[in-house]
Structures are given as C-alpha cells and as structure tokens.
Amino acid sequence: MSEPLDRFVTRLLELATVDEETGARRLPPERELGDALGMSRGALREQLAVLERLGFLHRTQGRGTYLDTPSFGFVRTYFTIARELGYITGVHVSEARVLIEEAVAEAVARKASAEQIGALRESLDRMNAAEESDDLHEAHEADADFHQQLLRIVDNPVLQFLMEGLRRALADDMRARREAVAREGSAIEFDRSHADIVDAIAEGDGEAARFAMRRHFGIAESDAAAVKAARERAAS
C-alpha cells in the first residue's frame, strides 16, 4: 500500500536542501532519495509522479527535482470535471462568487494602497470607455481585471486557489451578467456600482465596501432569467 501523500511530503521536506537565493527545495537524486526513504524506485516514482500531476513538484533537466509552489492546473481540472459531472452548477458558482467577493471587498478596504486604488480606477475607466464604444468584449475584460485585482490585493493563497480553480466557471458567470445588463440597458448603472465599491475601499470602510459589492450583484441579477440564458449560451 502506498504511503499517505501528506506523510510522504513531510519526509521529502526532511531530505530537501533549500537554495539560499531562490528558496527552492531541491530533492536528492532518485537513488539516494529511495535509499533514504526505504522505498523501491518504482514506488518512489509513483509518488513523485502524483505530486508532479498535482503541481507540487517539477523536474529540470540537468538541475534536479524540486518541490514547488503549486500550480493551478490540477485544481482547475478538478472544478471543471465537477461541473461536467453536475456536482457544481452555475447557481453554485454564482452563490459562491457573491460570498467570496463580498468578503474580499471588505478585506481590500482594510489594506489597499493608494497605488492599488489607482489601478482599480483605471479598470473602471476601461469599462466606461468600452461601454461608450459598445465593445462588450473589452468591457468584460476590464470587469474581470477589476475583480482579479481585488483578489491580488487580499493576497490570500486559499482564496486564490478557489478562484483560480473556478476561473472558467467564473468567467462564464461574469460574461453572462455583463450580457444581461447590456440587454437590459443597465450597463452604465452596473459599472457605476463598481465605482461605489472603489469609493468605499478608498475611504477604508470595509462595511460599506461589502454593501457596495452586494448591491453590485443585485444590479447584475435584476433579471434572473436573462442571466441564466446568457450563462447557458456561454457554456455551450
């Protein structure tokens, strides 16, 4: 029976050497590693391959094998397959997004710098310009950039994992909302709600930022049928 992966990683960490310049954790060669762990080469390679597929390990030809900052590839695949199998639905994604984005807005209000607030306002300018030129694609891109900036400001790896894992589903949800408000003729009000979020953040008012984010989603969901139809088109 294979050793539990978490225990295997703990033992790997005990044998890894840390590069002082990069902080990368380099593992010994396979033969040396197998002897130290008391594992056959086949069992060792099997466990290392699992870590590699999960994005926690990478191999560099001529340099060695490293335990690494995890990639988002596996978690994206996990959520994508869960959606395909019906374990996660568009409604689940929308509800989760509201819960996360409200908390993120409140946290950003406590820590955003003047420079970061300026970057958020630049995204708003892009949204407004795109709306004026009827460029729905650019408006969506600016909208996505705005919300991604909020997440980067919070700088929480757990939230980053969740949002990156759901990236495709979130993109579909955002596009559906954008298309819905465009058809309703409420895009200007929708974009103004982004400005309300930034104003609250600039004032350092977490409660107001959370409320502004909640209001933002309320505007986007004013026609639930339109949002559902647009989401279905985006997924097809």
Take residue 186 and report the two structure tokens written for it: 């409420």
**What is the CATH number assigned to the segment(s) 79-235?**
1.20.120.530
Options 1.10.10.10, 3.40.50.300, 1.10.287.110, 3.30.70.1560; CATH for 5-67 is 1.10.10.10
Q: Where are the domains of the chain?
A: 5-67, 79-235
User: Residues in the chain with pLDDT < 70?
Assistant: 1, 219-236
Take residue 122 and report the two structure tokens written for it: 């630049």
Bridge partners of residue 65, in order along the sequence: 27, 59
Contacts of 183 (CB under 8 A, 6+ apart): 226
CA-to-CA dists, residue 53 to 15, 43, 66, 72, angstroms = 21, 16, 13, 11
The secondary structure of 61-127 as a DSSP string is: TTTEEEE-PPPSHHHHHHHHHHHHTTSS-HHHHHHHHHHHHHHHHHHHHHH--HHHHHHHHHHHHHH
Instruction: Look at residue 224 in the predicted model and tell me its pLDDT.
Output: 41
pTM for the full model?
0.73
The amino acid that residue 139 corresponds to is A
Instruction: Look at residue 230 in the predicted model and tell me its pLDDT.
Output: 46
